[in-house]
Structures are given as structure tokens and as C-alpha cells.
Amino acid sequence: MREFEFLQPGSVIEASKMLADLGEDCRLMAGGTALMLVMRQRMLMPSHIVSAERIEALRGIHYDPVRGLRIGALSRHSDIARSSPVRAHYPMLASMAARVANPQVRNQGTLGGNLCYGDPSTDPPGCLMALGAELVLASARGQRVLPMESFLLDFFVTAIEPDELVLEVRVPPPAPDATGLYTRFKRTAAEHRPLVSVSLLARHDAALCHEIALVVGASVPVPLRMRRAEEFLSGQRVSLDMAREAANIVAQDISPLSDARGDEVYRREMVRINAQRTIEATFGLVTDGGPSREPTSY
Ligand SMILES: Cc1cc2nc3c(=O)[nH]c(=O)nc-3n(C[C@H](O)[C@H](O)[C@H](O)COP(=O)(O)OP(=O)(O)OC[C@H]3O[C@@H](n4cnc5c(N)ncnc54)[C@H](O)[C@@H]3O)c2cc1C
């Protein structure tokens, strides 16, 4: 690994100015779990590392019944999984965070780093998209707020500018009749990363669906709201047949990734099965222990 200078700014403005002044030769580091890997592999050889460690504004998890949840970008996956307000008001988010990677990565990797790296084989982006989350981006020039859908642009590409930091993630307060379910499928038990993720947030009364957000992640370049399947289910009393048909629509509407972990055909089928099981479980359609058999990936 190339030697680098380690800078430790104490504020967002200071960090942003360093990033602007040093340009391409400089990288922000949070937990370092992604960055150090690419530096060790010499895919990236920055001369300066700007550590986010001392920037207090990036820390903390706070809940307010009116404004919802605020998760500082430096929150680690394990902080989110253990957080009392997250567990109480957003169990889907807590359960997702508890399944990210392995204990080492969960205790070191941060939410901000996860989102900024733009890796498709990750858990938080799809889950946060279903929850209607927004990101606050900050720099010496000011702040802007972007919904998750506008932040993730493509395979490893996000909307963040070189001098910007993710300050926090905001999640709106949950509706009283909303249920959320995050499911993931791993190709093998030994793998950490999801091959497929399905995030479902629905306002419903048993099988009667009032409103739904259904997001597929991990097998597509960026997580996607499945609008056609959402429209198909909204306002309907969901049956097993409808769950199957909605999952078929989901499978038709994605353009899956194809790589060594799974080709397009395999990924499309795994997305279809996981979407169907997630819809069935959400609307209480599990009668024979089917979907709730819960493969280890759930
Ligand atoms: C073995 C392994 C298994 C994994 N499995 C999973 C998994 O199952 N599910 C999953 O979701 N993820 C998984 N990951 C990815 C993991 O979640 C990320 O590596 C981690 O969250 C990145 O956070 P970090 O703080 O370490 O980021 P860093 O490595 O510090 O930074 C990553 C990138 O984000 C930028 N960055 C960091 N913070 C900010 C910020 N606040 N503002 C702007 N830019 C920022 C950095 O400049 C860098 O480009 C895995 C990683 C490993 C190594």
C-alpha cells in the first residue's frame, strides 16, 4: 500500500475544504472496511486520507415522533441494530442492520460508508428506500437533501460531489398501520453479502393493502421501487394468487446483474421467489409454514 498522510478534521466544513483542495488524490475514510480493501489491492492509491472520526456532527441516532429518525453517517451497522428507537419504531431497519455482513464488519463499517461506496450487493440502500429515507449531504458550500432514489445513480455511482460528506440519513415517522419486512437471500451460507434483497413496507389491515412500497436490491445495479407490482397490490385484498402474480411482475420488471455469483436467469428467479415469500408473509398468507420456514437468509 502506498504511504499516505492521515488528516483528522474536526468539522464537516474543514473536511470538505480538505477534500476540495486535495482533489482526486484524497479520500474520506469512515470505518475503512471498504476503502482499506481497495487501497490494499492498489485499485486506489490516495496520498491523503481525511478521517471522519473526529467529526461529531456525523454521530448519533435520534428519534422524534413528528420528524422521524435521524441516523448520523458515522453510525455503525451494530449501532443501528442495537438502537432502542430503531428497534421500537423501525424493526425492519434494526433487523436488516443485524444481518449485514459479519460481526467484525458490523462493528466497524458505517452507514455513510455503505451508502457512499455504491456497492449493489449491500443491504441498507433497498431497506432505506422502502422506508422513504432521505440523505443530507453537507459541504463547505452548504447542505442539500436527496431522496435515496436520487442518491444512488448506477453500479458504484452515487450523486455525491467530491467535496461533500453524507451528514445523516433521515427516515420519516412510520404510519401506525404500517408493517415492514426486509428479506435477503444468500447464495451460500458462507457468503456474507445478499444475492437478492426485498424490502416491503405496507399500510394494511390484515390482507387488505392500503399502500405499499416494494423494493428489490442486490441483484440490480441500484435498488428499484417496483411501481407496477405496487399498483397491482394497492387497494386490493391480497391473496396467494395475487402474491404470485405480483412477484411475476417484479421478475419481469428488473434487469438483473449477471456475474460469477449468479447469472441473470438465476437472479431473476431468486428475486421472484423472494418477492413472493415476502408479500405472502407481510399479508399473513402463510398457511403451511411455507414462507415462514424462513430460509437462513431471512
Ligand atoms: C467481508 C465484508 C462483507 C460485507 N458484507 C456486507 C453485507 O452483507 N451487507 C452489506 O450491506 N454490506 C456488506 N459489506 C460492506 C460494508 O457494509 C461496508 O464496507 C461498510 O459499511 C462501509 O463503511 P465504512 O465506514 O467502512 O466505509 P469506508 O471504507 O470508510 O468508506 C467507503 C467509501 O465511502 C466514503 N465515505 C465514507 N463515509 C462517508 C461519508 N459520511 N460521506 C461521504 N463519503 C463517505 C469513503 O470515502 C469511501 O469512498 C461487507 C464488507 C466486507 C468487507
Please state the domain extents for the chain.
Answer: 5-51, 56-171, 180-285
Q: How many Cβ atoms from other residues are within 10 Å of residue 154's Cβ?
A: 10
Is a pLDDT exceeding 60 seen at residue 146? yes
CATH class of 180-285: alpha beta
Residue 115: count of CB within 10 angstroms of its CB: 23
**How long, in residues, is the chain?**
298
Mean predicted confidence (pLDDT) in 12-35: 97
CA atoms within 13 A on the CB side of 157: 5
* pLDDT-above-90 percentage for the chain: 93
- Across the range 113-122, mean pLDDT stands at 97
Architecture label for domain 56-171: 2-Layer Sandwich (3.30)
Whole-angstrom distance, CA of residue 106 vs CA of residue 273: 28
Spacing, Cα 188 to ligand 1 middle (Å): 22
Other CB atoms within 10 A of residue 171 CB: 22
The fraction of the chain above a pLDDT of 70, given in percent, is: 96
- pLDDT exceeds 50 at position 294: no
pLDDT at residue 2, as a whole number: 82
Ligand 1 mutation target, pool 13, 35, 59, most atoms within 8 A of CB: 35
Q: What is the DSSP letter of 172?
A: P
Residue 295 has pLDDT above 90, yes or no: no
The pLDDT value recorded for residue 189 is 85
- pLDDT exceeds cutoff 80 at 292: no
Higher pLDDT, 294 or 73: 73
Task: Answer whether residue 173 shows pLDDT above 60.
Answer: yes
- Sheet-wide strand order for 178-185: 178-185, 196-205, 208-217, 224-225
| Closest atom, ligand 1, to C-alpha of 28 | 47
259 pLDDT above the threshold of 90:
yes
Centroid of ligand 1 to alpha carbon of 290 (angstroms): 34
Using CB distances shorter than 6 Å, the residues near ligand 1 are: 27-35, 52, 58, 73, 100-101, 105, 109-110, 112-114, 116-117, 122-124, 160, 165-166, 192-193
The per-residue pLDDT for range 210-255, each reduced to its tens digit, is 999 999 999 999 999 999 999 999 999 999 999 999 999 999 999 9
CATH class belonging to 5-51: alpha beta
Q: pTM of the prediction?
A: 0.95
Instruction: Band the pLDDT of 287: cuts 50, 70, 90.
Output: low
**How many C-beta atoms lie closer than 10 Å to residue 225's C-beta?**
17
Mean pLDDT within 181-186: 96
33-37, 114-118, 188-192: least confidently modelled range:
188-192
